[in-house]
Amino acid sequence: MRSRGFTLIEVLVAMAIFALAAIAVINATTSNIHSLSILEQKTLADWVAANKLNDAQYQDLKDGAQGTETQAGVEWYWRIKKLKTEDKDFSALEVTVSRSSDFSHPEAVLRSYFEVQS
């Protein structure tokens, strides 16, 4: 009885299939890591925006107020705008948060509505 092994073609085809599968796994992992980094930055920016909205409501920060805040070792720039709404009894505060001082690429924009005090 003669034992039979794999031919060279069969081994090459198996290696090609494995290589394609490995490349797909590496691409998926890389994409996941990149998305996780973006999600982390967005979350930190949202926290800064929420903090500044609270500050604006309880410390009476004025329209146009801006500054910096450090969150998780990252310096964030924030700016507050007061917006008019269609209903004259309500106004809105909008906080924009960015990693750049010119706010060219905002990471988070959070808006809160409140009743205008007469």
Q: Identity (one letter) of the amino acid at 9?
A: I
Q: Work out the percent of the chain whose per-residue pLDDT is above 90.
A: 58
Tell me how far apart the alpha carbons of residues 31 and 22 are, in angstroms, rounded to a whole number. 14
- Give 50-103 pLDDT, tens digit per residue: 999 988 888 877 888 899 999 989 999 999 998 888 988 888 999 999 999 999
Strands (E), 16-105: 66-71, 74-84, 90-98
The domain made up of 8-115 is a member of CATH 3.30.1300.30 = yes
Distant-in-sequence, close-in-space partners of 62: CB < 8 Å, separation ≥ 6: 80
Three-point CA angle 78, 83, 84, nearest 5°: 175
Tell me how far apart the alpha carbons of residues 65 and 95 are, in angstroms, rounded to a whole number. 10
The overall pTM is greater than 0.75: no
